[in-house]
């Protein structure tokens, strides 16, 4: 009787193990089918917009014999520039220091001849040349350089040219970059994304008929290649640019681009 119960228990346990194995195997096959029998479609969305903000990056570079002198002189130039920017109705939150560095300046005296040395003989074809043997002298600190960099946002584009001219006049000796931005960039990116998704779905609907396939659910979505771009010199607005006492600065248009990839299950 005990042997009979043992056989029943053993058979039941074996059946349970086999059932679990079968479920796992079926699930694995199902998952493999979902990931294997798929097809992907890409879409691109573009939005063009006239910039409404100019971002100017510039630096004040000052040199003096001592670190304190260099920093004091740089500080005076910095105050002059900030005062000028505020006169142009630029708010404090749009004036930002992005870097501040103090560098020692070195001079490298000529190497000195080593006393009592006969030099070094170097073969040159059938002849030889004897060079005197030198030892290097130590570099000397001759002064200090302070480099303070800024980024300023100009929200009135009519003032860009005057701002550039005024920055140089009041002490900025390096204008590193001028770029134009769109203030509501996230909203434009959302619009570009909608266009990209629509583009991908239209391609899917068209190609499924050509391939004679049936599309199931979306199994993955990928977004990449977003770049808020690019200056288009040929796409000027009616102003053609901004002027006013300084350099002529075309504004142009920015291009917001979003690329997406949608993957469908093939039924």
Residue 209: strand, helix, or coil? helix
DSSP state of 115: T
What is 155-169 written as a DSSP string?
Answer: S-GGGHHHHHHHHHH
Q: How far is CA 17 from the centre of its chain?
A: 55
Give this prediction's pTM: 0.61
Q: What pLDDT does residue 211 have?
A: 87
Strands 127-131 and 254-266: unpaired
Q: What pLDDT does residue 245 have?
A: 55
Segment 148-190, tens digit of pLDDT: 999 999 999 999 999 999 999 999 999 999 989 888 888 999 9
Q: Cα separations (Å) of 203 from 165, 191, 211?
A: 51, 19, 12
Q: How far apart are the C-alpha atoms of 114 and 139, rounded to whole Å?
A: 17
Q: What pLDDT does residue 143 have?
A: 95
Question: What is the arithmetic mean of pLDDT over 216-244?
Answer: 58
Percent of the chain with pLDDT over 90: 51
Specify the higher pLDDT residue, 121 or 138: 138
Q: What pLDDT does residue 253 have?
A: 84
Segment 36-78, tens digit of pLDDT: 689 999 999 999 988 999 999 999 999 999 999 999 999 999 9
Question: What is the arithmetic mean of pLDDT over 206-210?
Answer: 89
Cβ neighbours, 10 Å, residue 17: 10
Structural contact between residues 264 and 180, judged by C-beta atoms closer than 8 angstroms = no
Question: What is the arithmetic mean of pLDDT over 88-105?
Answer: 95
Q: What pLDDT does residue 139 have?
A: 83
Segment 84-94, tens digit of pLDDT: 999 999 999 99
Q: Where are the domains of the chain?
A: 1-36, 40-50+184-266, 53-181
CATH of domain 53-181: 3.30.70.2970
Q: How far apart are the C-alpha atoms of 162 and 152, rounded to whole Å?
A: 13
Q: What pLDDT does residue 108 have?
A: 79
Torsion of Cα atoms, 201 then 207 then 209 then 213, to 10° = -90
Structure tokens at 50: 């006239």
Strands (DSSP E) along 137-230, which ranges?
A: 140-154, 174-181, 215-228
Structure tokens at 253: 């248009």
The H or E element spanning position 28 is: helix 2-36
Q: What pLDDT does residue 190 have?
A: 92
Domain 40-50+184-266: state its class.
Answer: alpha beta
Question: What is the arithmetic mean of pLDDT over 115-140?
Answer: 58
Q: Cα separations (Å) of 8 from 16, 17, 21, 22?
A: 12, 14, 20, 21
For residue 223, pLDDT beyond 70: yes
- Edge to edge, the sheet with strand 95-107 lists 95-107, 140-154, 53-64, 174-181
Q: Angle, to 10 degrees, between the axis of helix 67-87 and the axis of helix 160-170?
A: 150
Residue 224: strand, helix, or coil? strand
Segment 18-33, tens digit of pLDDT: 555 556 555 554 554 4
Q: How far apart are the C-alpha atoms of 203 and 41, rounded to whole Å?
A: 7
Question: What is the arithmetic mean of pLDDT over 198-227?
Answer: 88
């Amino acid at each position: 009787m005990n042997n009979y119960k043992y056989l029943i228990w053993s058979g039941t346990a074996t059946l349970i193990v086999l059932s679990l194995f079968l479920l796992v195997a079926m699930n694995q096959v199902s998952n493999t089918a979902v990931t294997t029998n798929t097809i992907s479609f890409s879409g691109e969305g573009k939005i063009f917009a006239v910039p409404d903000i100019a971002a100017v990056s510039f630096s004040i570079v000052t040199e003096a014999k001592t670190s304190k002198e260099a920093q004091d002189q740089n500080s005076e130039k910095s105050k002059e520039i900030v005062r000028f920017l505020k006169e142009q109705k630029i708010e404090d939150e749009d004036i930002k220091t992005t870097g501040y560095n103090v560098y020692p300046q070195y001079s490298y005296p000529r190497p000195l001849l080593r006393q009592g040395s006969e030099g070094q003989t170097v073969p040159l074809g059938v002849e030889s040349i004897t060079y005197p043997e030198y030892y290097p002298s130590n570099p000397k600190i001759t002064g200090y350089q302070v480099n303070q960099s800024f980024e300023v946002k100009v929200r009135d584009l009519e003032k860009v040219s005057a701002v550039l001219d005024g920055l140089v006049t009041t002490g900025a000796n390096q204008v590193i970059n001028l770029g134009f931005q769109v203030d509501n960039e996230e909203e434009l990116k959302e619009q570009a994304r909608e266009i990209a998704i629509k583009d991908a779905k239209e391609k899917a609907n068209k190609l499924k008929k050509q391939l004679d396939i049936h599309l199931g659910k979306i199994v993955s979505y990928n977004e990449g290649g977003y770049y808020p771009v690019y200056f288009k010199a040929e796409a000027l607005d009616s102003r053609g640019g901004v002027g006013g006492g300084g350099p002529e600065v075309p504004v142009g248009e920015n291009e917001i681009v979003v690329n997406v990839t949608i993957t469908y299950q093939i039924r």
